[in-house]
Structure 1
């Protein structure tokens, strides 16, 4: 196994565990992440998912270059398509929030993995970048599409064209990560956020993920209205309102 999975207290933690290669992504690792995501989504007790890397040096240092070095155009297309559909798009559109705990290098496919997550926390030692152009390539797991939405086209172009690594503090400054913590605090703070989210309505969060993802389409406002109105018939809304009126904490099922 190239990943470890821990499920407790409504939180699933997926840890990429290839320390000898700084947790680089290969076919097997991507497949295992995909399977772990499916398991977490189908597990009713899981309400939030955290993705992180093993050790203190690296979240994910990129794709495993040795694995794809000799790929043909067709093989590269299949690699990109399969990775996007099975992992990166799946994360972005999962019905449960996914938080990246970036504990070190997040480069190439590693940064693309973090970009696909709904929220990103980073440690102070994190370094982020998309170095693909130094290999004569470009990001192939959605980096050219997701990064501009977060930081703007000009900043995204600078990061992609220069292939420079940026610090965690710079990443927070440009909106690439939400918060930065000391390495020893990162998982504690990430779990605190996950626990806070897990207390809220799963149905409402599922709807929020879908409509936020639709915000860059022409139908975002309509989808928000539809989702908002549908929730009025849901048990979660009835419990939430009843709890508010009774001045007690809600118990969402």
Structure 2
């Protein structure tokens, strides 16, 4: 069931120490600022919940996983402060995923673009269907994937990030992303994906929560300065989005 709500939807279901957080938006599960803020708060809240050992992050429907930032909001940015605020939305989500204290399993059923690739990269373990191709197309509208870059590079290395970013008009397959280390396993069908995510989450939830929390710290070692780093990156994107190049490119896309 896909949401028709303009600001998108966010549902959390907690069962057997597993929190499933599901987001949705009618525009290919893209993120307006309000939905990014809600997801950030939800991750922090679930992170503090002692009844949760593991988080599953997924999106609604069977098509796109996440088309990144809301196009309408991107077009509407008119000054540096608005630009910075907008991109800080993704920075906040990535930092919440990094620091919430719970391991996050990503369940990805379809394509991921821009910020959607960042979400995938900030999960601790990602299972996908073979429809989960990825693209970082930010250059085509005059900006770059600056906020999500640390998360992506942490998973696929500088060479992988360069290939993805510089070839801004090409999709990379789910198998390419698995080979690079972004994805752990690729399945042929949605049903297989759902079943495997459930099995993995149940196994993780049966382990010692303290051991899981310590492992989360180990996996994210060296990212302690991300609060500042991602805020700086949001400012870079916020400035670039105001350029004539971007305004023209967005106007062309809108048509």
TM range (shorter): 0.7 to 0.9
Aligned Cα root-mean-square deviation (Å): 1.7
Q: What is the TM-score when the length of structure 2 is the normalising length?
A: 0.79
- The residue number in structure 2 matching 1:167 is 173
Matching of residue 128 in structure 1 with residue 142 in structure 2: no
- The residue number in structure 2 matching 1:17 is 24
Unaligned runs of 5+ in 1: 218-253
SS of structure 2 residue aligned to 1:210: helix
- The residue number in structure 2 matching 1:62 is 68
SS of structure 1 residue aligned to 2:19: strand
- The residue number in structure 1 matching 2:36 is 30
- Of 68-77 and 166-175, more deviation after overlay is shown by 68-77
8 Å Cα contact 1:103/1:122 also seen in 2 = yes
- The residue number in structure 2 matching 1:110 is 116
Shift of 1:24: 0.3
SS of structure 2 residue aligned to 1:59: coil
SS of structure 1 residue aligned to 2:134: strand
Superimposed CA distance per residue, residues 109-149 of structure 1 (whole angstroms, 9 cap, x where no aligned partner): 1111111111111111111121111111111432x212222
Greater gyration radius:
1
Note the 1:37-48 alignment, pairs <5 A: 37-48=43-54
Unaligned runs of 5+ in 2: 1-7, 225-255
Shift of 1:63: 0.8
Superimposed CA distance per residue, residues 68-113 of structure 1 (whole angstroms, 9 cap, x where no aligned partner): 213222222222234313x111101221101111110111111111
Shift of 1:37: 1.2
1:155 aligned to which of 148, 160, 163: 160
Alpha-carbon distance between aligned partners in 2 of 1:132 and 1:5, rounded to the nearest angstrom: 30
Alpha-carbon distance between aligned partners in 1 of 2:136 and 2:219, rounded to the nearest angstrom: 25
SS of structure 2 residue aligned to 1:49: strand
Note the 1:237-252 alignment, pairs <5 A: none
- The residue number in structure 1 matching 2:244 is none
SS of structure 2 residue aligned to 1:58: coil
8 Å Cα contact 2:90/2:115 also seen in 1 = no
1:76 aligned to which of 79, 83, 87: 83
- The residue number in structure 2 matching 1:236 is none
2:206 aligned to which of 182, 185, 199: 199
- Following TM superposition, the consecutive aligned residue runs of length 4 or more in structure 1 with deviations greater than 4 angstroms are none
SS of structure 1 residue aligned to 2:29: coil
Q: What is the TM-score when the length of structure 1 is the normalising length?
A: 0.79
8 Å Cα contact 1:129/1:165 also seen in 2 = yes
1:49 aligned to which of 49, 55, 67: 55
Shift of 1:38: 2.5
- The residue number in structure 2 matching 1:221 is none
